[in-house]
Every structure is written in C-alpha cells, then in structure tokens.
Chain A
C-alpha cells in the first residue's frame, strides 16, 4: 500500500526565512500528492496538490514539485510569515481502486517567530 514519510518537527523559523519540509512517498502506480495545512483550532485544509510527475503545485507562496525519480514532494516557501504557523501534512492517494483514500504523513509543526 501507499505510505508517506515527512520530516519530524517541530520546526521553528524566524519571519522571512526559507522553509523546506521534506516528504517522500512509496506507492504502486501513479499516486496524486497533496499538502494539507491545519491552522490552530481549525480543520485540515488542502494547501496544494500535484497529480502527475513534474507537476508543480502552488498556493499562498508555497510550492511543491512531484519528483517521480526521487519519490518526493517537498514543500517550500521563500519567505515565511507568522501567519504560516501551523501543522503541515503530506498525503498521497491511490491511482487505482480506492483512489478516494488519502494516506497521510505524521505532520510537521511549523512555528514562525517575529
């Protein structure tokens, strides 16, 4: 089955610092890849996604590129803000039967300090 591994947190950065959160996956077939974000007190929200190799998902200044050769989908942002403090989850979905199921990593907590 699918599995997702993401870097352990917590991660603490100063405002305007560069962010990378690593994510790698194992899957059969061609999964779709996602980053979800959970702000304090809120439900998970889809941040961005990529559905095939070399696709780049982007939203709110965050980017991630689907790298099939390294089975990775690392999340990056060039300049983080205090409002980006949240827990970030990498996820994948099957390409065949059960493609509605999401498989999540453990989450990485990001704290951005002024």
Chain B
C-alpha cells in the first residue's frame, strides 16, 4: 500500500510569512509524529498525535509552531511568522498504534524541505 506522503516536497518562503505543511499517514495508523532536521543536526521530535488523545506538543520550539490532525488522517504543521532558523527538513511519520518505539515501528515520509529567505 501507499506509504506516508508529505506535501509540498519543497517550500521557499520569505521571512515573516506563514507556511502549512501537510502529512498523509499510512491508512489505519493511529499515531502520527512530526520531526525536524536542521542542517547538520539530527532529527528533533516536535509533536505526537495518537487517536483522540491530547497531542504531546513538548517538542514544539515556540508558539509560532502548531499542528492539527483530523481524526486518524491528515495532519498539518503550521509555522507562523517564519524565521530563517526555521529552515529545515520537516519529516512526518506514522505508526500502527503509537506505543513504545521498540515495538511499534515508525514509518517516515520523504519530508518537506523548507527554506526561509
């Protein structure tokens, strides 16, 4: 079946603009994750959704970042008033049940490369 898809694959924006990044998880996966990878850095956890539970937003770097998920489907990550330090690859992943990573494999999308000029 189809894997995790993300759109757009590339986004160039001007400082101060808002951007929306989209993630379509694997059908049937209840858990969804957003990660960020800045140049030369490892992936950083941003946010986690699992079913109808309150999301774990502990990784969001500032209140300019927010994310929503409709049921167990599409998620959007919104960055308001973008700054140059927001330039990164934003990766989405989904997993079947959202349990421990040791038993519940996360499947990643190809990412959205965001460049803030």
Q: Are A102 and B111 touching (Cβ within 8 A)?
A: no
Q: What band does the interface of chain B fall in when counting residues whose beta carbon is under 8 Å from A?
A: 20 to 34
Q: What band does the interface of chain A fall in when counting residues whose beta carbon is under 8 Å from B?
A: 20 to 34
Query: Is A93 an interface residue when CB atoms closer than 8 A count as contact?
Result: yes
Q: Are A45 and B108 touching (Cβ within 8 A)?
A: yes
Residues of the B chain whose Cβ atoms lie less than 8 Å from the Cβ of A105: 42
Query: Is B31 an interface residue when CB atoms closer than 8 A count as contact?
Result: yes
Docked CA distance A93–B43 (Å): 13
> Which residues of A from 23 to 53 have beta carbons under 8 Å from B?
32, 34, 36, 41-46, 49, 51
Q: Are B110 and A107 touching (Cβ within 8 A)?
A: no
Residues of the A chain whose Cβ atoms lie less than 8 Å from the Cβ of B35: 102, 104
Query: Is B33 an interface residue when CB atoms closer than 8 A count as contact?
Result: yes
Residues of the A chain whose Cβ atoms lie less than 8 Å from the Cβ of B33: 100
Interface residue ranges, A against B (CB under 8 Å): 4, 32, 34, 36, 41-46, 49, 51, 89, 91, 93, 98-107
Interface residue ranges, B against A (CB under 8 Å): 3-4, 31, 33, 35, 37, 40-43, 45, 48, 50, 56, 58-59, 91, 93, 95, 98-111
3 closest residue pairs by CB, A with B: A32-B102, A93-B101, A43-B108
